[in-house]
Amino acid sequence: MSYDLIIKNGKTITGQPIEIAINAGEIVKVADEINEKGEELIELNGDAYVSAGWIDDHVHCFEKMTLYYDFPDEIGVKKGVTTVIDAGTTGAENIHEFYDLVKKAKTNVYALVNISKWGIVEQDELADLSKVKEELVHKALTEMPDFVVGFKARMSKTVIGDNGIRPLEMAKKIQKANNGLPLMIHIGSAPPKLDEILAHMSKGDILTHCFNGKPNGILNQATSQIKDFAWAAYDKGIVFDIGHGTDSFNFEVAETALKEGMKATSISTDIYIRNREKGPVHDLSTTMEKLRVVGYDWPEIIEKVTSVPAGNFHFETKGHLKEGYDADITIFTIETGQKTLTDSNGFKREATELIKPVKTIIGGTVYDN
């Protein structure tokens, strides 16, 4: 039998040999060795790792915005990322325009619809609750079920004005009315207080910016311990997502959490053009390197950008190297080197293991990095 594409002489992140055959954009065979022929062949040298395509579940890539925007392929395929989820840049009034635009991208793009109907046009999109229209959100979901995979509400002081916890209550109501699709909650400065936010969240809801260094975060800065209510939320099954961003990842918080036994559920960037070009984010691989420096091992880091976000957002054919799954694959190396990593608060750590994507395969099409 002949295949469209065969990847030979690869290895998984745990060091197991792997070869993969692809037909019509789908993985059709996974084995230690494949002897059949392919129309196209990627012959690796034994040093390269092969994983399911990396998923960044918190980005901002609607290029027509002004506050937070980027271009899908600049943060996706060019960076080893096969799938991105735009986290609430657009709302029900402008998400159709975003949908039409991303059809041209090589990268797989999905979206969380902001519960505020115009998304993040201004910083305080939830200060005026008349912008939250449940029927418009439902309409967007109905019209674009293959694109809209959940909801986003930003619950921090600069966003909500004087509305307290009310926007989150509205978001939960919208979620309940729409088949319980995933809800991502951004956290930052109070009000509302983090304990109140977490009390309103349910198992499977995504708390992004989980390791931010703000007083309203999960770390008690007086005792240098994780707050009890944060542990209760974590144990309840709330998804703790990195969402690095310009202002939302702190090494000390991540390190303290790990010492206590708390690990981020998923790893994402909150990337947009400014923090991509000027830092501290740059790309998903840099965020992965930061979690490695914190003390995570590479196999779990890879899981947190593949199978875990695929599960959280109900991607039934992504996140695994298995027959019948989409041929979305990241080929990468891990090399010894030296690199200074900077968190959102200017604190630095030195990386000695550098992860570098070398080929990105999306729907069976190969792109070099």
- Residues annotated in the binding site, as ranges? 58, 60, 152, 186, 209, 270
The alpha carbon of residue 188 and the mean position of all alpha carbons in its chain are separated, in whole angstroms, by 18
10 contact partners, CB below 8 Å, separation of at least 6: 17, 18, 19, 20, 44, 48, 49, 50, 331
Angle formed by the axes of helices 284-294 and 251-260, nearest 10°: 50
Binding site for Zn(2+), by residue number, is: 58, 60, 152, 186, 209, 270
The residue to which tokens 């395509």 are assigned: 53
Structure tokens at 188: 């930052």
| Angle between helix 95-102 and 134-143 (nearest 10) | 20
How far apart CA 223 and CA 213 sit, in angstroms, is 14
Other beta carbons within 10 angstroms of residue 358's beta carbon come to 15
- Which H helix or E strand runs over 67? none
DSSP per-residue codes, 69-99: ---HHHHTGGGTEEEEEEEEEEETTTHHHHH
* DSSP conformation class of 271: B
- Here the tokens at position 229 are 């209510």
How far is residue 197's CA from residue 253's CA, in Å, rounded to a whole number? 19
Residue 231: partners with Cβ closer than 8 Å, 6 or more residues away:
260, 262
Q: How far apart are CA 278 and CA 281, in angstroms?
A: 8
In Å, what is the CA distance from 20 to each residue of 34, 39, 320?
Answer: 7, 13, 12
SS3 content of the chain, % helix, strand, coil (to 5): 25, 30, 40
Coil/strand/helix, residue 19: strand
Token readout for 189 is 């400065």
